[in-house]
Amino acid sequence: MPSVTTAAVVGSSAADSDPAPSLRSATRAAVGVYGDDQIPGWKEAVTVRGRRQVLALSSVNASIALPLTALLVLLPNLARDNGWSTASTGGALVAGAILAAILAPLLSDRIPPSRRAGAGSVIAVNLAFIALLSNVVPAYWAFLVLSLLRGALFALTASIWRPAAFDLAIPEARARTIVRTQCGWLAGIGLGSLIALLGIAGPAIGTGQALFVAGVVGVLLSLASLRLADRTPGGVEERRIRRAMGHLDDPVAGLRPTWRESLQSLLSNRTLRLALSGYVAVGWTTGLGLVVPIQRLAQERDLKPLTAPLVFLIAATTTAVVLILTARGLEKSRRRSVEALAGVAVLGILISLIGLVLIGLVPVVISPQLTLSWIGGYLAFVALEVTVLSGVQPEDRPTAAAVTWFSLIGGSLVALGLVSVLTSLLPDAAAYAIALSVAGLPLILLWRRQRRFVRTAGQDLDERLGVDEDTQAFEEETGEAGAPSVLSLRNVDFSYGSVQVLFDVTLKVNDGEMVALLGPNGVGKTTLLRVLSGLERPQSGTIRLDGEDITDTNASRRVVLGLSQIVGGNAVFGSMTVYENLLMYGFSLGRDRASIKEGIDRAFEVFPKLADRRNQLGSTLSGGEQQMLGLSKALITKPRILVVDEFSLGLAPIVVGELLQMVRALNATGVAVLVVEQSVNLALNLVNRCYFMEKGEIVYEGFAKDLLAQPELVQALSLGGSPEGHAAAETTLRTEGSTSV
């Protein structure tokens, strides 16, 4: 793989035309979108080792598609030879496909990045052996079990090979990489069709022998997976982005989001949500679920038995040739703009729809229509794949690939089911011809939805890169202020289902500042803290830490980046000793035992009471001692900002006074503090600035010293939702010229 320097030289023509490129241009160029069409050659963009990896992935795809295609084409013959019904034999394969679709998203995080190549090799070889065994077992129950096992293993492949193909080459060659790996799949379909053709032609090779040969060839092709090597998620792209943003290191390198966090992040991505319908359309028109209906259509039109496998062979070969010829054009479209390549997906789905409908409308001939449908479908797949995976974080790509795999398989199965239902309702003479044409009509709805996909693709990519309009506005504000705020929330909305709790919340905490968030119970303070800490994701708005957009960042990463929260009354693990609690606080430091020990020693120095109780269970500590133990988190994690929630709750005044001194001492070391309190007077005597919340909104922002001089205003704001208090607050705000948000 070329180095970052080589990749930068590749895009020098775009940079030369713009002597002062904006941050947006620089980050887009880092992911291969330059605004021109000067793409590097394939050998220039991908090293010899990288090209071997692409060939290995292509062989793996072929090893899966080859025996599966042969099995589907020879399915009626296999059922007849074994005395099984065609419906039950096909049902076993459908059951395996359904299992693969369901398990793919659920298993997407089970294999860590450092082990994906090894796991992929094991899975590829086992899939090929299962395909070989499925073709020779004499008992139906064994065939069914093997089909389900193949589906389970197939589910694991979605999170391995597609992200690997995406990260193999520099961004300027990704479309061509995807094309080449998909040509491996098409080659497998072609070879499987050819072997099935020989099996049907006989008599030297029968059904059993043909399926056995397909399995053996599949096993041999799967051995290419042994050449696969693990890649860093994102590849060269992440280093480029950090360089464009002025970051030389990655503070969260090595951390993986949980499955739930990845899924939550992906479902908030508009481009992915819209693309799912596109993947359904691709599976609908190009999936192997159409093999059986095409065979039945050939029988319906009294075509020779050799017609169906010959049609698939021609369609696969022609589609592969077209993909290779158009690969450079797809790459150029991506380099010009995100929207240009996204538009190819819309066009491809339309072409695929036309081809599917023509299969049923045009009598006798089948091959040209199927070829047209596959060409459109595979063009759409490449465009969808590059656009969607570019718009999500590298660590979320395995889950994104698995979710879209669910849509692909789902689309193929829905198409098969719809054709089956229609043929049961139509006259036998033209059942499959009419069914295939009618089955294509629902795709019009999917095609219309994909048109919105083009409009969101560029916006979501900019948002992922942190160069969207909101980010640019933030950069302008930062430029005026001289430095970014440690913590910044901008226009944050949040809802629990249909109940909106936060409304357009905007607040900030500057470097070294102490700020209070005040308001009575039930106004949304705790919810805001959950959103701030990454436990909930806002419906809109942005959250930044030291200028970095962390809106989609999971909770554990936020701790690593410097945001720590102490929850009043719940900051201690009661079943653990004091020392074990302190060890738990240091989890974000990883294997840096020296820093953890230093932090623990510092905590015992600052809080001598904790040192005396180091072996005592947390649940046996007094309320004040538990809060001290919670505050000691800041001495270990050394955050940029410490969020303290109701630390005075239920404590005696003398204990609260001691804790206040500790908070001030932490702040004096440079740690910014956001205090959430119900005790207004306590908070105002501690902080520099304060915000008041009412019914999920920030209704007041001002300096604590100004509020202390206006007790009437403090009383009015503290009354929260009462009409009198609200009116008094508004009157005072107008007369005193305070800041109202």
Q: What is the pLDDT of residues 603-614, one digit of tens each?
A: 887 778 878 888
Task: Provide the edge-to-edge strand list for the sheet that holds 540-545.
Answer: 499-509, 487-496, 540-545, 548-549
Q: List phi, psi (to 5°) of 574.
A: -65, -30
Distance CA 565, CA 639 (A): 9
Give the least confident one: 8-22, 243-257, 321-335.
Answer: 8-22
Q: According to the model, what pLDDT value does residue 201 have?
A: 81
Q: Give the torsion through C-alpha atoms of 671, 674, 677, 679, to 10 deg.
A: 60
CA dihedral sign, ordered 118, 121, 127, 133: negative
Q: Which two tokens stand for residue 163?
A: 């992200």
Q: What is the pLDDT of residues 297-345, one digit of tens each?
A: 887 777 787 888 899 999 999 999 999 999 999 999 999 998 899 999 9
- Decide the pairing of beta strands 641-645 and 487-496: unpaired
Mean pLDDT along residues 466-489? 65
Quickly list H helices, 362-396: 367-390
Q: According to the model, what pLDDT value does residue 2 have?
A: 34
Give the least confident one: 241-255, 369-383, 506-520.
Answer: 241-255
Distance CA 469, CA 477 (A): 12
Q: Which two tokens stand for residue 390?
A: 């570019």
Q: According to the model, what pLDDT value does residue 588 have?
A: 66
Tokens 């036998």 locate to 428
Q: According to the model, what pLDDT value does residue 650 have?
A: 63
pLDDT averaged over the chain? Answer: 81
Confidence of residue 450 (pLDDT cuts 50, 70, 90): confident
Closest C-alpha to 95, from 24, 28, 146, 61:
146
Q: According to the model, what pLDDT value does residue 569 have?
A: 56
Higher pLDDT, 423 or 317: 317
Mean pLDDT along residues 618-644? 79
From residue 642, give the alpha-carbon distance in Å to each of 352, 386, 509, 544, 671.
55, 39, 11, 14, 7
The answer to whether the CB of 532 falls within 8 A of the CB of 492 is no
End-to-end CA distance of the chain: 51
From residue 616, give the alpha-carbon distance in Å to each of 10, 406, 609, 633.
62, 50, 11, 17
Q: According to the model, what pLDDT value does residue 377 have?
A: 93
Q: According to the model, what pLDDT value does residue 568 have?
A: 64
Helix (H/G/I), strand (E/B), else coil: 124? helix
Quote the radius of gyration of the chain (alpha carbons, Å): 31
Asked if residue 393 has pLDDT above 60, the reply is: yes
Q: Which two tokens stand for residue 7?
A: 């990749």
Asked if residue 471 has pLDDT above 80, the reply is: no
Q: Which two tokens stand for residue 150?
A: 């193949």
Q: According to the model, what pLDDT value does residue 384 have?
A: 93
Q: List phi, psi (to 5°) of 441.
A: -65, -40
Asked if residue 272 has pLDDT above 50, the reply is: yes
Distance CA 277, CA 448 (A): 10
Distance CA 86, CA 707 (A): 81
Give the least confident one: 221-225, 252-256, 484-488, 548-552.
Answer: 252-256
In DSSP terms, 509 is beta-bridged to 487
Higher pLDDT, 540 or 331: 331
- Tell me the three-class secondary structure of 637-690, residue by residue: HCCCEEEEECCCCCCCHHHHHHHHHHHHHHHHCCCEEEEEECCHHHHHCCCCEE
Q: According to the model, what pLDDT value does residue 734 have?
A: 40
pTM of the predicted model, to two decimals? 0.75
The answer to whether the CB of 336 falls within 8 A of the CB of 37 is yes
Helix (H/G/I), strand (E/B), else coil: 329? helix
Q: According to the model, what pLDDT value does residue 11 have?
A: 36
Count Cβ atoms below 10 Å from residue 81 Cβ, excluding itself: 14
Mean pLDDT along residues 170-187? 93
Q: According to the model, what pLDDT value does residue 474 have?
A: 57
Distance CA 661, CA 623 (A): 17
Confidence of residue 20 (pLDDT cuts 50, 70, 90): very low
Q: According to the model, what pLDDT value does residue 16 have?
A: 36
Beta strand spans in 260-359 (E):
none
Higher pLDDT, 13 or 570: 570
Higher pLDDT, 497 or 721: 497
Q: What is the pLDDT of residues 683-732, one digit of tens each?
A: 777 888 888 888 888 888 888 877 777 777 777 666 554 434 444 444 44
Tokens 């060890």 locate to 583
Distance CA 461, CA 455 (A): 11
